[in-house]
Structure 1
Amino acid sequence: MFASDLDTTIEFLKGVGPKRAEILQKELGIYTYADLLGCYPFRYIDRTRFYKINELDADLPYVQILGRITGKETIGEKHKKRIVARLTDETGTIELVWFQSLKWVDENVMRGKVYIAFGKPTVFNSSYSISHPEMESYPRPATLTGNLTLQPVYNSTEKLKKFSLDSKGIQKMQALVIEQCLQEIRETIPAYILDKYRMVNRKEALLNIHFPKDTIALQNAQRRLKFEELFFIQLQLLSNKQFRELKFKGHLFSTVGKRVNTFYKDILPFELTGAQKRVIKEIRLDTQRGIQMNRLVQGDVGSGKTVVALMSMLLANDNGYQACMMAPTEILARQHYHSIASLLDGRLIKVDILTGNTTKKQRILLHQQLEAGEIDILVGTHALIEDKVVFKNLGLVVIDEQHRFGVEQRAKLWRKNSTPPHILVMTATPIPRTLAMTLYGDLDVSMIDELPAGRKPIETKHLVEGQRLRMFGFMKTEIAKGRQVYVVYPLIKESEKLDLLHLEAGIEQMRYQFPLPDFQISIVHGQMPNKDKQYEMQRFIDGQTQIMVATTVIEVGVNVPNASVMIIENAERFGLSQLHQLRGRVGRGAEQSFCILMSGEKLSREGRKRLETMVMTNNGFEISEIDLELRGPGDLSGTMQSGVLDLKLADLVKDQQILQEARNTVIEIFQQDPTLSLPENALLKRFVDKKSRGIALDKIS
């Protein structure tokens, strides 16, 4: 994308050398001149305003003062040595103090000369001073770096500062690269797109992101570079989709046969919601196009994704194909298996399950039946991807919570048939619209945004530590009605750093409040052996225990309709998405369910906002948008799919319009030029070819 000069190793930039190059690589990932140019300022300081000394206020973040050095002296010895200078204007005098770089200050800050001093004012002994101010002689020299009205501020670290690579040091490096290589910067976006959105060229954008001549130039540069970031993410995602559609033919599910019709008309014990019907129709149309389906189904907890998946798998069976469903944990796999088996009531097809705990004898029989085509639907965990698992004719793969699987794991399922099976991805974690466009932009997205009829909204309350006895009383009332209760803790053992009510202390408290033999408690946490965990969960599922005390291992995978109360301890320590997932463990039966968020009295502004949001709404999609605002895309994407979002400048919350423009532009390009063969798209063709090298059947987004 860049000319060869910009590919020069950063070591060879004047003043850098091997040691500084090494620390730049480790701390900021800067290896070349191009990498340095791509290291953008994170904010700017307005250097147009000059303060008078009598206007100073200790609350001001930074000030710029024009004055004359009227005195300078060196005070103290050895490590206590410092230089103190007095800067005077017509309204007063301020002290400037340096503890480091004393040789430079001694040689460059001269008594009697006029300077611009810039820094943070502080009060000491009723007088103002500035420690380690930036100093510029006045008048400023007319150079690229000296004429700044908006001063860029770059990220630095303590290690970088030891090599004089603070923000000012990085700024000087940027100036050198731009002065040497400005003419070598090549355009990356076709001219017709720049014209359409009236964007500046890349050269002008990079110059003004680092050294903006004014606010308007900075805004134009930011908009151009944000668009570029989002545009190339969309181009990569949608070119992957285009590649699949052109390269891989999909199984044709042309028949809606006996299995789908009988299940829908005679077996299904409830009416599908409008949202479920809409999504099933979208899947039906996908599987008639003759190309491989790649669809993401988002649905809140309890919205009925399993039924949608089952009807899709029955559609595959009606057309002579097998289907499988892969879940990230054995608990979740067993839950899906029992849900499907219960819905089918032993009719229509043969369903089986394969997990790490399936015995050798069971496996041998299952492998034989699967290869012979006698198993129609196989539910399982990672065990499904083992080489020994061979399908006769796999037509559809359903992946639940796909972010919990690696790309290579998913790819092994794809390779289990000569023609790639259709892929249906499901998630119970509602994803903000902008994040879905960037993380899953190459998938077609369906939303089940409607809960089944008769499902009562969960009542959510926020209680503080002083209301704990009220919480215990409520638990006893619900248990007396025959209900069951979850109590979730963020930690297993006491932490010296975090003053949280941890699980072990909580169990002692529970046993005191709910003594044997009247009350039975299940205990589940991540450090238990799987066998013990399964045993304790099963006791709760079977109703043998009334209370399950657990860490977040029950976030996904436990379905107990009789459990009507979810208590989350130290709720302020959980993210919004996790709180919503935990709350979704209740509200699965016909009875009114409750979620109680326990917290300390003192809450951060963000912690309070999260708990207020939970009390205010049950809508997972609303919650996901607020979560994105609070946490930012980095944290959220990390839990979903790593390596897709590498945004240096764009913000998915603030820049939704730019993202939509970028995505729409890419969609239009592929509609008009599917193979990017037109001359005006040559730049884009080079980018796609570079990125797509190595894409083969193991590419599942």
Structure 2
Amino acid sequence: MRPAILNPLFAEVAALKGVGSAQVRQLARLKISRALDLAFHLPTMVIDRLAVDRVDESLVGRPIVVPLTPARHDRGGPRSPLRVAAVDRGGQWVDLTFFGQTANWAQTKLPIGVEKRVIGKLDRYGQKLQIAHPEVLAMDGPTPPPLREPVYPLTEGITNRRMSQLVAEALGRVPALAEWIEPSVIERQGWAPFADSLKAAHRMEGARNASLDRLAYDELLANQLALLLVRADTRARRGRALAGTGRLVQPLMASLPWALTNAQNRVIGEISGDMAQAQPMLRLLQGDVGSGKTLVGLIAMLTAVEAGTQAALLAPTEILARQHHATLTKLAAGLPVRIELLTGRDKGKAREALLADLAAGRIDILVGTHAIFQEAVEYHDLGLVVVDEQHRFGVAQRLLLANKARVPPHVLAMTATPIPRSLALTRFGEMDQSQIDERPPGRQPIETRVTARFEDVAAGLARHVEGGGQAYWVCPLVDGTEDEDEAAATTRAAFLKVRLGEGKVGLAHGKMKGPDKDAVMADFAAGRLAVLVATTVIEVGVDVPNATLMIIEAAERFGLAQLHQLRGRVGRGSGHSVCLLLRGEELSETARSRLKLMRETNDGFRIAEEDLRLRGAGEILGTRQSGEEAFHFADPERVQTYVTMARDDARLLLDRDGGLDGARGQAARVLLYLFERDAGVALLRSG
């Protein structure tokens, strides 16, 4: 049960004063449905107005509140703005300018000779002082806006004044809450209580940064506490030991044409050690593009099959699921193991037969998208879950798949997107972590060059194709824009078909239907196409060893992590590979730094840390984080500053301060509900 003290905050917005059905719909566009959402809807800037009786040059550029008396209405031509010449109490003339208003409106709203309170920014227009589109109020009329007014993100139909009223009512519902932060942290940081900090953050006063720091810390503490609860719950559950016999793994290893790297052997040892314990494994495997994670994942799955259970591999996209299925089938060729694919596209009798075989235990390894944990999917005995591109899934989705097993399964999460330590803690703090930090033997570093010479790149591509090579050409857009932006996949594909020949160029992008996109990818993989023009749909899950040239057009528009992922599509064979970053003429300092780093290093872990530093509060890892990882207050800079402190604080609470049953623990329960850390809350409900 949610603590009763929070009920006023979780009330629907319809319960607030003056909110009707139309305003409920308007607020929904801002993802605001409860008083809590309003309380967490912070302003982005503040207007500081000056109340004056007279205007002069020194006030140009300032928002002001001033009494003015209209003296003349000037409509001008039919397309001209309405101008009202007004005078202040010292005799200074000011033009009030309105677009789209009539003389009749002016006579009603600004009658000549009647002093009005005018609110707006004073500007200069030619030789005259002017206020464009001011707010006009009667001198004895409604209360003018405050001199200091926070400005909120808005949507059509809701004014800033109305949003301020709604936020004020929501903040009035924030109760005084018992403190959940360790007292020494509060004292050291000099933070005010939660409710005071939230109100101060809305006022945007001098101490706002300290208030936001406190709110970010609260959010990170809730996050870390939830992850530690998930971890503790997983460890407390009785799973089962899955010890391999070697009957599948040994023949696989013997059939490999190359030796495993030391890093792969180390990680395999960590994973098999975890799986040999009755306590369910919960491990995150980070490996840079091309480091050999898929093979490590297969060895873990074969170990589960050797122990008499089934394994499932969850991928975020159909393209990646199909790629994994093809790779695993090829690697395991000749082994007595059945590997099948299930996606949302599979329908009818074929799907029914597959599900029947899965439930009967005739399928050893199932690969697929989120379709593999839908309600109708039943496993005979699921022992291991492997989640690929882990950063695209939330804790809740992992738990959902884990619920498909008779006893808690072992979970191995994998990501090819190296994650800065601070972000790894916020998203995967409940998991043990392993890294593959070596490239397989024979894989050469990818040579990266930066150029602005489009024609040279096109000519170089033609020579590459004539020599029997294959290449990718990646664009940031699918279609050209109104200003004829040519960095679009459709435009570039048409150009290259003319240049290289119709049958040599394929096009793949996210707007295409799945089967069409798969057909193009298959043609490229089989060598029937020389060039694949694409958007970032090829960022993960395309493996064509013969493709040794990657061209990324308008490279300055991509994030570092994205550029690194795209570059990793080449360099997958033993041949020398090149990545050409084709840039625009004008570059920002950030873009320049980004491209320079790409040229200097192939190390994904260094790139990830630098990406975090360069992007600041921007979107991290190039993908919207799902479910529980979305933060209201904790931007990446604050994550870096406070996540380790929050993790230590959460550990202290659980290990020393009486856990969730002590005084601080009771306050922390409220915190989990307040920030809706669902994984942690679900465990509170069940235990």
State the TM-score, normalized to the length of structure 2: 0.78
Distance 1:478 1:35 in 2: 55
- Residue 111 of structure 2 is aligned to residue 124 of structure 1: no
Match for residue 496 of structure 2 among 484, 503, 510: 510
Pairs within 5 Å for 1:193-272: 194-195=186-187, 197-211=189-203, 215-216=206-207, 218-246=208-236, 248-253=237-242, 255=243, 257-259=245-247, 262=250, 266-272=254-260
**Which residue number in structure 2 is paired with residue 323 of structure 1?**
311
Does residue 560 of structure 1 match 2:560? Answer: no
Letter of the 1:252 counterpart = A
Q: Which residue does 2:407 correspond to in 1?
A: 419
Separation in structure 2 between the aligned mates of residue 695 and residue 550 of structure 1, nearest angstrom: 42
> Structure 2 vs 1, CA of residues 460 and 682 (structure 1 numbering), >3 Å: closer, same or farther?
same
Alignment of 1:398-437 (within 5 A): 398-402=386-390, 413-437=401-425
Deviations 1:92-120 (A, max 9, x none): 95737375998888899959xxx9x9854
Aligned to 2:553: 569
For 1:582 and 1:355, locate their aligned partners in 2 and report how far apart those are by CA, in whole Å: 26
Within a 5 Å distance, the mapping from 1:282-293 to structure 2 comes to 282-293=270-281
Q: Match for residue 94 of structure 2?
A: 95
* Counterparts of 1:199 and 1:271, CA distance in 2: 55
Aligned counterparts of 2:368 and 2:566: Cα–Cα separation in 1:
23
Partner SS state of residue 644, structure 1: helix
Q: Which runs of 5+ in 2 are unaligned?
A: none
CA distance in 2 between counterparts of 1:215 and 1:546 reads 60
Q: Aligned letter for 2:41?
A: C
Give 1:529 shift: 5.8
Q: CA, structure 1 residues 134+439, in 2 after alignment: closer, same or farther (shift >3 Å)?
A: farther
Amino acid at match of 1:185: A
Please state if 1:460 is matched with 2:448: yes
Provide closer, same or farther for how the CA distance between residues 617 and 104 of structure 1 changes in structure 2, counting only shifts above 3 A: farther
Question: What's the counterpart of residue 140 of structure 1?
Answer: none
Which of 350, 353, 374 does residue 337 from structure 2 map onto?
350
Give me the whole-angstrom Cα distance separating, in 2, the residues matched to 1:623 and 1:52.
Answer: 54
State which of 466, 485, 490 in structure 2 corresponds to 1:499. 485
**1:75 paired to 2:59:** no
Q: Which moved more, 1:77-86 or 1:439-448?
A: 77-86
- Per the alignment, in what secondary structure is the counterpart of residue 676 of structure 1? helix
Change (3 A) 1:604 1:313: same
Q: Is the alpha carbon distance of 1:30 and 1:383 closer, same or farther for their aligned partners in structure 2, counting shifts above 3 Å?
A: closer
- What is residue 27 of structure 2 aligned with on the other side? 25
> Measured at CA, do residues 171 and 323 of structure 1 come closer, stay the same or move farther in structure 2, by a change above 3 Å?
closer
Indicate how the Cα distance of structure 1 residues 206 and 548 shifts in structure 2: closer, same or farther if over 3 A, else same: closer
Q: 1:313 aligns with which of 261, 286, 301?
A: 301
Amino acid in structure 2 at the alignment position of 1:659: V
Please point out which of 35, 40, 43 is paired with 1:41: 43
Provide the residue aligned with 2:628 in structure 1. Answer: 644
Does the C-alpha gap of structure 1 residues 267 and 228 become closer, same or farther in structure 2, counting only changes over 3 Å?
same
By how many angstroms is 1:523 displaced? 4.6
Residue 294 (1) aligns with residue 294 (2): no
In structure 2, C-alpha distance between the alignment counterparts of 1:615 and 1:6, rounded to whole Å: 51
> 2:384 maps to what in 1?
396
Q: 2:577 aligns with which of 588, 593, 596?
A: 593
Structure 2 contact 249–302 (Cα < 8 Å) conserved: no
State the SS of the aligned residue for 1:560.
Answer: coil
CA 1:389–1:372: 2 relative to 1, 3 Å: same
Q: Distance in 1 between matches of 2:176 and 2:170?
A: 11
Query: CA 1:19 to 1:588, structure 2 compared with 1: closer, same or farther past 3 Å?
Result: closer
The alpha carbon displacement at 1:30 in A equals: 5.3
- Runs of 5+ unmatched residues, structure 1: 138-142
Structure 1 residues 681 and 98: CA distance shift in structure 2, 3 A: farther
Paired residue for 1:185? Answer: 176
Residue deviations 1:536-580 (CA, integer Å, cap 9, x gap): 434433334433344444333221111110123344454444333
1:176-226 per-residue CA deviation (whole Å, 9 max, x = no partner) reads 777x668x53345357363464421134323433446x624x343232222
Distance 1:229 1:93, change over 3 A: farther
Q: Which residue, 626, 642, 667 being the options, matches 1:658?
A: 642
Q: Which amino acid aligns with 1:73?
A: A
**How big is the shift at 1:520?**
3.9
Distance 1:485 1:336 in 2: 21
1:417 partner SS: coil
Give distance in 2, aligned partners of 1:344 and 1:243.
35
Q: Is the contact between residue 439 and residue 637 of structure 1 (CA under 8 Å) also seen in structure 2?
A: no
Provide the rounded CA distance (Å) in 2 between the counterparts of 1:383 and 1:12.
39
